[in-house]
A and B are shown apart, each in its own frame.
Chain A
Amino acid sequence: MPQPIETLRGFGVTFKQIFKKPLTQQYPEYKRPLYPRWRGRHRLHRHENGLEKCVGCSLCAAACPADCIRVVAEENTPNNRVSAGERYARIYEINMSRCIFCGYCELACPFDAITLGNEFEISEYSRDDLIYTKDMLLAEPIKRVPIADPAIYDTPVPYYQDHS
């Protein structure tokens, strides 16, 4: 049934909203801080002495639900020692257009060689540029993204947090 007075109160609400400050976060100027364990772009890691952690076992390729990792292993010769084990990954490619950023590769890796970092601004202009090679994955991320304080988010039992 028609309610004219309530409708006019609705008009008052929209009119008052003109004078309130908008809630929009303007993206490139303000970047919202990410959780520390947020799954972003993959990174391959090295040991402190410069040897790569990845031995080319392709457990990550086996675990990947989207089937986007390609690993071709090669023997470590005494002249060319790349990784810390017997073999190293000669070709290591991740197809970012297939990846669903689930983190299974990170969970499957027995050597902590691949983790999912915090970078998300990885758009490209063509599909071929989205196939990331080993060099690109080993490199540091170019753009910094703000990360929130781990003490807020990384508690083991969230409901018993006794400090903020």
Chain B
Amino acid sequence: MSETWWVSLIKAFIIINLVMVAFAYMTWVERKLLGRMQQRYGPNRAGPFGLLQPIADLVKLLRKEAFYPAAAIDKLYIAMPALAAFTALASFAVIPFGPGWEIHGYFVGGWVLDAPITLILLFALGSVGIYAFMVGGWASESKFSLLGSMRTCAQMVSYEVSLALSVLGVVLMGQSLSLVDIVHKQQDTLWFVGPQIVGFVIFFIAGIAETNRPPFDLPEAETELVAGYHTEYSGMRFGLFSTAEYINMITLSGVGVTLFLGGWDGPWGLGPLWFLLKLSAFLFVFIWLRATLPRLRYDQLMRFGWKVLLPVATINALITALLVVWI
């Protein structure tokens, strides 16, 4: 079953808009929840319960003076935020959030793209996203941006290896690289978080490092690096980097839900609702980590990534491979 091209187009348009709204209100949820964890209210002045705060932030960013350093390399400097936001949004196209439905004789799948290699597509888009952060910091021609982008590059490359290896166990158990097939397999057998608990933990920790979230947020630590790779960006360019970060977070949570927690699997057939609930649980844990843990120092970060996470991921993949072959 495949869907007609215009159904895919409409669905892609709707999903992109929903993801952008989800990003805007994700910032609201984060600020309110962080506030509540720190025994204060979040924003509660802009609209009831601060619900218009993301819109106020958006208008502020759009109206800000978009200066840029005279020494910056123009085309790269301007293209990088757009590239970051593009890869973040494009990664969301392959995440399945429901089984397909038949509407008026047309098949509407619960995903925008289903290809046999969607998992590799996700990692490929993530790596191109790393380019955006690196080149953005370097093209700003400023010392803080350069340092920030060097640290970002090192951190993201190190943890990308562990991320890919942690998913290997799921691929071996799911016998496929397509996210939709993995969800179908989890529907038939059990959710992969059970047998692959080590892989799940490694995926989550590497995912936090990939999206530059606290406690791995040294690239954008205000106290150490001014603002890291996005020091010289202002106005909507910074807004696009921020968009890319939050949408990466949502996409990574979506991938984690799909690979380990069974995607849209749940009783009573309400596929997308279960997906959203599991996604919300992931995002809550992201915010909880931000409120609780201090920042990792750079050498601690690198040591953890290479000396602890990578061997554990490798051994997990090895043991899964052995068990799959012999059982």
Contact = CB atoms under 8 A, between A and B. Distances in A.
A17 interface: yes
Given A7-B293, A10-B292, A22 B41 contact: yes
Interface in B276-299: 288, 291-293
Contacts of A18: 33, 36-37
A13 B293 CA distance: 12
A11 B292 CA distance: 6
Interface in B200-252: none
Interface string B18-55: 00000000000000010111111100000000000000
Nearest to A13: B292
Given A22-B41, A24-B41, A11 B288 contact: yes
Given A10-B292, A11-B288, A17 B41 contact: no
B285 to A, nearest CB: 9
Interface string A10-22: 1101110110101
Contact-residue bracket for chain A: 10 to 19
Contacts of A22: 35-36, 39-41
A23 interface: yes
State the majority secondary structure of interface residues on B: helix
A7 B296 CA distance: 14
Contacts, number: 30
A119 B40 CA distance: 27
B114 to A, nearest CB: 37
B111 to A, nearest CB: 33
Nearest to B285: A11
A23 B292 contact: no
Contacts of B36: 17-18, 22
Contact of B40 (A10, A11, A15, A23): A23
Contact of A24 (B40, B291, B292): B40
A44 B131 CA distance: 66
Contacts of A14: 37, 288, 291-292
Interface in B173-205: none
Contacts of A15: 37, 288
A10 B291 CA distance: 10
A28 to B, nearest CB: 10
Nearest to B42: A22
Contacts of A20: 39
A147 to B, nearest CB: 27
A148 B281 CA distance: 47
Contacts of B40: 22-24
A145 B277 CA distance: 48
Q: Which of A15, A20, A22, A26 has the most CB of B within 10 A?
A: A22
B38 to A, nearest CB: 7
A14 B284 CA distance: 12
Contacts of B38: 17
21 contacts: A7-B293, A10-B292, A10-B293, A14-B288, A14-B291, A15-B288, A17-B38, A17-B39, A18-B33, A18-B36, A18-B37, A20-B39, A22-B35, A22-B39, A22-B40, A22-B41, A23-B39, A23-B40, A24-B40, A24-B41, A26-B41
Interface of B: 33, 35-41, 288, 291-293
Given A15-B37, A18-B36, A22-B36, 5 more contacts: A13-B292, A14-B292, A18-B33, A22-B35, A22-B40
